[in-house]
Amino acid sequence: MRHAAGPALALLAAMAPPALAQGASGSPVVAGDVIPASLTGQPGDPARGRDIVINRQTGLCLLCHSGPFPGERFQGNLAPDMTGAGSRWTEGQLRLRVVDASRLNPDTIMPSYYRIDGLTRVAPAFAGKTLLTAEQIEDVVAFLTSLRDGGK
């Protein structure tokens, strides 16, 4: 008698969400709409996070988002304004959105900053690499969490 576990496991594997990059303590655990734990086991630095968010070579956030950055020209309007992000979403919700927003909205145009597989049209230089490190993700999350009503 032949065992049917092989095809069933293959089907389950095909249906599984794309893998996320390995953090300091293994793959991030997604629970509903959050990644509850820090990817590094440490809190991020909001000042470094702000620098990443406004840097047009690193985060590229302002390409689509706007926020409380009066000195930054040409802020985007394709995605939610970052002003008050820490009032609208929890730290874990923000972390999942930065790590891989496609887990919440498969049609999002937001890059998956910490996912390494299941992606399309990846430049060879970026294959198998995350766009941001775990530390950079935590810095961005710390900054976004600090943005309460009123913007700062």
Distance CA 115, CA 72 (A): 28
Task: Specify the pLDDT at position 109.
Answer: 92
Return the structure tokens found at 136.
């950079």
Domains of the chain: 19-146 (1.10.760.10)
Distance CA 70, CA 134 (A): 28
**Average pLDDT for 68-96:** 96
Task: Specify the pLDDT at position 37.
Answer: 96
Task: Specify the pLDDT at position 25.
Answer: 46
Distance CA 111, CA 57 (A): 14
Task: Specify the pLDDT at position 4.
Answer: 46
Task: Specify the pLDDT at position 12.
Answer: 36
Q: What is the pLDDT of residues 23-68, one digit of tens each?
A: 444 579 999 999 999 999 999 999 999 999 999 999 999 999 999 9
- Count how many residues are written for the chain: 152
Task: Specify the pLDDT at position 151.
Answer: 47
List of long-range contacts for 61-70, beta carbons under 8 Å, 24+ apart: 64/109, 64/110, 67/147, 67/151, 68/147, 68/151, 68/152
**Average pLDDT for 92-120:** 93
Q: How confident is the model at residue 2 (pLDDT cuts 50, 70, 90)?
A: very low
Total Cβ atoms within 10 A of residue 34? 17
